[in-house]
Amino acid sequence: MSDNFKVQVASEIGRLTGVVMHEPGQEVANMTPETAERALYSDILNLEVARQEYAQLRGVLQRRARVFTVRGLLGDILGNDRVRSGLVRRVCDAEGVPQLADDLLAQAPDDLARLLIEGVPLTRDNLSRFLSPDRYSLPPLHNFFFTRDAAVAIGDSVLIAAMASPVRGREARIMEAVFDHHPRLGAPTFNPVRLAGPGPGLTIEGGDVLVVAPDILVVGIGARTTPRAVDYLIDRFRGEGGTRHILVQELPKTPESFIHLDMVFTLLDRHLCLVYEPVVMQTHHFDVVHIHVEGGRVVSITEEGTLPAGLAKLGLELEPVYCGGRDDRWLQEREQWHSGANVFALGPGQVIGYGRNAHTLEDLARAGFAVVPAGDVIDGTVDLDTVGRCIVTIDGSELARGGGGCRCMTLPVGRQPPG
């Protein structure tokens, strides 16, 4: 396998060839109830159990694709003095601790990568810091194992997220540095914060962006992604020329389980999608808007009844499979809360998700998906190349409590055309 990897993602379901992940580490163990709330968690996680579950996800992905780790990629680029200095000073300035930069720059690349992710303990060398309730000058990145949010590969370029919460800004800065400077995984990046200026009200996160086809993007707007971010994408696509369709799905602002589009809508196969029915399938309950950009101008902006109906007009007929099953609203709500709709495609008709969502699995089985435990894929009992349509299940007792699923924990950087 060549050391170089070409970033290319033009669909949600094409056979996976490369993915970026970050295993939960000491930054997760260092959460307290107070810092968990600040870091957007509703509870603190058991790191040992979370790692066991995460190992199932990674083990399956390694059977299908090249797996890159954030820690490894970051350590690689920090060996370049210019890159190290630029990233460290940007991080320290953005987080109000410019005095830390020189000490951090003196660290070896791997140690510096660890500190940027796990946090820099507070040195209590004056009275203010001695009395401070904080334990860190640079807080740990508790959310970084949700690698999806900080960047999105769109074609052969990478959109760098403008994170909705400042506590996650360092994640985006790290991913921008990786894609800008890694010698074997580099790709052109575009960043609404650095190119357009942050401005008021411009935020966008990767969980809200689905690359459906080379010319079709689906974007959720709600708690984490705003209309101004969609305006930014429109302006960019106008500048590129060609044809682009952006379908925008409005999301509820609460509860927290609706933070991203992929918590209510993901793609399963060429003509199948997984939906949380109360949000996605109720006509005009939440707005859906189709924006057609062609030849450097906006041709039309129209309202659609539902997201699947809008995609059907573009030639993509999708039959829904239902998160939580079809009949009981309470079961739908329970399983949506635990990321039942948040699955990640290994290839057309092959996805990975949590095994705890029994009613979602039943509806997938009715649609012809074999339910395959992750261990059977990892040990070779089941061959993904011969099993056909399936959902591979990992344990989700702990990871799901972090507020995301398998799509949230994966940043695909390579997919084959779905055919």
321 Cβ contact list (under 8 Å, min separation 6): 268, 272, 273, 274, 275, 360, 363, 364, 366, 367
Predicted pLDDT of residue 403: 85
pLDDT tens digits, 91-136: 999 999 999 999 999 999 999 999 999 999 888 777 777 677 778 8
CATH superfamily of 16-415: L-arginine/glycine Amidinotransferase; Chain A (3.75.10.10)
Query: Beta strand 390-394 with 370-373: parallel, antiparallel or unpaired?
Result: parallel
* pTM to 2 decimal places: 0.94
pLDDT tier at 418, thresholds 50, 70, 90: confident
Inter-residue contact 325 to 274 (CB < 8 Å): no
- What is residue 99's DSSP assignment? G
* C-alpha–C-alpha distance, residues 343 and 63, integer Å: 17
pLDDT tens digits, 58-95: 999 999 999 999 999 999 999 999 999 999 999 999 99
Question: Quick one: CA dihedral 326, 327, 330, 334, positive or negative?
Answer: negative
* Residue of higher predicted confidence among 167 and 391: 391
Mean pLDDT of all residues in the chain? 93
Query: Mean pLDDT across the stretch 391-397?
Result: 94
Predicted pLDDT of residue 39: 57
In which order are the strands placed within the sheet that holds 16-21?
A: 66-69, 16-21, 411-415
